[in-house]
Amino acid sequence: MQLCNSVPKPKSNERSKLKKMIETDILIIGAGPTGLFTVFEAGLLKLKCHIIDALPQPGGQLSELYPKKPIYDIPGLPDVLAGDLVNNLMEQIKQFQPGFTLSETAETIDKLDDGTFIVTTNKGTKHHAKAIAIAGGLGTFEPRKPEIDRISFYEEKGVEYFVKDPELFRDKKIVIAGGGDSALDWSIFLADVASEVTLIHRRNEFRGALDSVEKLQEYKKLGLVNLITPAEVISLHGEEHLNAITINKDGNQETIKTDYFIPLFGLTPKLGAIANWGLEIEKNAIKVNNALDYQTNIPGIYAIGDVNTYPGKLKLILCGFHEATLMCQSVYQRINPGKKYVLKYTTVSGVDGFDGTRKEAEKAVVKSIE
């Protein structure tokens, strides 16, 4: 097993390079609910956070897999849409001004002699942190790719598996394939952006939220989306960039001109590069010390939320929130050795944001009664 890379303490000229890095107290890998709530608990302890996520938006599984589904087991919220819970978490942590590196995957980690870490993404962005919180959930989401000849040649040349920036499709002809929520929702959304949207699905039935299916029906009637079912894309064309696709519908082939093909056939989670960081892994999850602080076998690297495992582990949002809270106390002790922390209730102490804002309960009026 390869241990987390240990590199010498940076020399002074190397220190100047570090200045160009993103500096933070806690580097959180994963902007799912666990990673987001970590920012709040860390903020109460005056610790600054920066979050990396491979996806273009925060929210993890909630945003990517079920934004419109209600969740019924968040304490104090009898039912809340997954997307709304993410928005609320973002609002709750705003005061603590977290930094975000989105659409980038944490690839390598180096531990410096002073016990701090440098995490580098697949795009070369470097982050220097005093502690690492891996909140990577089930891992990075890899798109399920359709088996179409030469599809890899067209990746980033007309074939996109995620809609990272809708503006890429402004005034372009696009073909989306798939029958789930993502295919429905992006077809509807991009109808206002692209010059032409065609949705292709191999069945006549769609597996999505009822309001999305109804909206697509309406968009089809209005001519805002071309719907072709049951049909499958069977080949791609274009010399340097995609310019057309061929579909098979009821045994007949038809070629359609298009600038982009977006197959949305679901995502498979993969632990990815984190699995090579020298962490103890069990059943595709990171083993942690749950009796204390959710630290891994490498001091200073913690794993919280769906990504960790310990006896009795439950992969639930509320468990991730609890783990994040205890972990932050441990990071505080690591960064401020010997300094006593006294637990304060937010109702009593209020919340002081890093942006100068303060939330506090209304002060009691001191007035004598005649």
Ligand X SMILES: Cc1cc2nc3c(=O)[nH]c(=O)nc-3n(C[C@H](O)[C@H](O)[C@H](O)COP(=O)(O)OP(=O)(O)OC[C@H]3O[C@@H](n4cnc5c(N)ncnc54)[C@H](O)[C@@H]3O)c2cc1C
Q: Which is nearer to ligand X, 101 or 198 (CB)?
A: 101
In the complex, what is the shortest distance from the CB of residue 142 to ligand X, in angstroms, rounded to a whole number?
10
Token couple for 312: 């009795």
Q: Which is nearer to ligand X, 24 or 198 (CB)?
A: 24
Classify residue 68 as exposed, middle or buried by CB count within 10 Å of its CB (0-12, 13-18, 19+).
Answer: middle
310-330: string of b/e by CB count within 10 Å (b at 16+)?
beeeeeebebbbebbbebbbb
Query: What is the rounded CA–CA span in Å between residue 235 and residue 255?
Result: 9
In the complex, what is the shortest distance from the CB of residue 48 to ligand X, in angstroms, rounded to a whole number?
19
Q: Which is nearer to ligand X, 120 or 289 (CB)?
A: 120
Tokens 């849409």: give the residue: 81
In the complex, what is the shortest distance from the CB of residue 13 to ligand X, in angstroms, rounded to a whole number?
29
Q: Which is nearer to ligand X, 174 or 274 (CB)?
A: 274
Query: What is the rounded CA–CA span in Å between residue 272 and residue 30?
Result: 13
Q: Which is nearer to ligand X, 146 or 272 (CB)?
A: 272
Query: What is the rounded CA–CA span in Å between residue 338 and residue 38?
Result: 22
Q: Enumerate binding residues for ligand X (CB under 6 A).
A: 29-35, 52-55, 60-62, 65-66, 71, 73, 105-106, 135-141, 272-274, 305-307, 315-318, 320
Query: What is the rounded CA–CA span in Å between residue 235 and residue 288?
Result: 47
In the complex, what is the shortest distance from the CB of residue 104 to ligand X, in angstroms, rounded to a whole number?
7
Q: Which is nearer to ligand X, 33 or 179 (CB)?
A: 33
In the complex, what is the shortest distance from the CB of residue 199 to ligand X, in angstroms, rounded to a whole number?
22
Query: What is the rounded CA–CA span in Å between residue 14 and residue 167?
Result: 38
Q: Give kind and range of the element (H or E) at residue 119.
A: strand 117-121
Name 250's Cβ contacts closer than 8 Å, sequence gap at least 6.
Answer: 230, 231
Q: Which residue is nearest to ligand X (CB)?
A: 137
Name 161's Cβ contacts closer than 8 Å, sequence gap at least 6.
Answer: 143, 145, 155, 262, 263, 264
In the complex, what is the shortest distance from the CB of residue 228 to ligand X, in angstroms, rounded to a whole number?
28
Q: Which is nearer to ligand X, 46 or 123 (CB)?
A: 123
Other C-beta atoms closer than 10 Å to the C-beta of 13 total: 7
Give SS3 for 145.
Answer: coil
In the complex, what is the shortest distance from the CB of residue 331 to ligand X, in angstroms, rounded to a whole number?
17
Q: Which is nearer to ligand X, 79 or 171 (CB)?
A: 79
In the complex, what is the shortest distance from the CB of residue 160 to ligand X, in angstroms, rounded to a whole number?
17
